[in-house]
Amino acid sequence: MLKAENVSFRVQDKTLLHDASVECRPGEFTVLMGPNGAGKTTLLRLLAGLYQPSAGRVLYHDQPLSSFSATELAKSRAVLSQEIQLAFPLSVADVVLMGRYPHFQRSPSAHDRAICAQTLAELGMSHFADRDYSTLSGGEAQKVQMARVLAQIWETPPQGHRVLLLDEPVSSLDLRYQHQLLQLARDFSRQQAIVVAVLHDINLALAYADKIVFIKEGQIYDTLPNPDELTAEMLEEVFDLAMCVITNPLTQRPLVIHASADMR
């Protein structure tokens, strides 16, 4: 279990997140949603241990996240950030291999390379292995970064569960790959991994999330353990848009349609 207990995060005199509590369980795909600047990335980075809470605590397997060493964490917790810039030229294969850095000393084993080849294949990117990463399109680069984080936590550690934290992982992907990547993330959670993703598309969240956490103005507005119970009223409050929840004729699941705030 990965758990935030009453966490707050302040920078100088500004509170970016206030008193947030969330529980992310193995086997579960949790989605964080909310308006721009609400605090989603801040919460994800707190869950990752990349930020230290100003108040409250983050627990991983019932122990403070801060009690784990960086190397220990890197073997079981991977983070896909929004913008990734490389300072020097690398091939796609080398970028994916970066995910294996916590697992080898001087040079990667055949096993490390095999895992990287497999994750690149999972993302349909094998044929890009030798390409200069800097020449990739935004969507291609996003798929390669997903292959990198999957390679990092491909194997379950002897104790505990793997944690995959994804910040807007489909922002550059076409519709088909948005579904493919989220399917992959959900399948990954089903191997008893903890998966948390920040998404902006409520319909994708509804299609893939086991739990949706809504964040607004630096606070958790609501947590929906069953996304099918989503109401238009709640969405209107969070996003300040006119919303309607209908049934998707293709899936028979809830589908959200929206219009400008003037329609409310």
Ligand X SMILES: Nc1ncnc2c1ncn2[C@@H]1O[C@H](COP(=O)(O)OP(=O)(O)OP(=O)(O)O)[C@@H](O)[C@H]1O
For residues 215 and 256, which CB has a smaller minimum distance to ligand X in the complex? 215
Q: Is the dihedral of CA 237, 242, 247, 250 positive or negative?
A: negative
Contact pick of 24, 29, 30, 34 for ligand X (by CB under 6 A): 34
Burial (CB count <10 Å: 0-12, 13-18, 19+), residue 179? middle
Measured between alpha carbons, how far is 200 from 35 in angstroms, rounded to an integer?
A: 8
80 binds ligand X, rule: CB under 6 A: no
Contact pick of 6, 21, 27, 37 for ligand X (by CB under 6 A): 37
For residues 41 and 76, which CB has a smaller minimum distance to ligand X in the complex? 41
Contact pick of 14, 70, 158, 228 for ligand X (by CB under 6 A): 14
30 binds ligand X, rule: CB under 6 A: no
Contact pick of 8, 30, 41, 178 for ligand X (by CB under 6 A): 41
202 binds ligand X, rule: CB under 6 A: no
53 binds ligand X, rule: CB under 6 A: no
CB of 93 to ligand X, least distance (A): 30
Contact yes or no for 220/213 (Cβ under 8 A): yes
Beta strand pairing status for 211-216 and 63-64? Answer: unpaired
* Number of residues engaging ligand X in binding (CB under 6 A): 11
Q: Which residues bind ligand X (CB under 6 A)?
A: 11, 14, 16, 34, 36-42
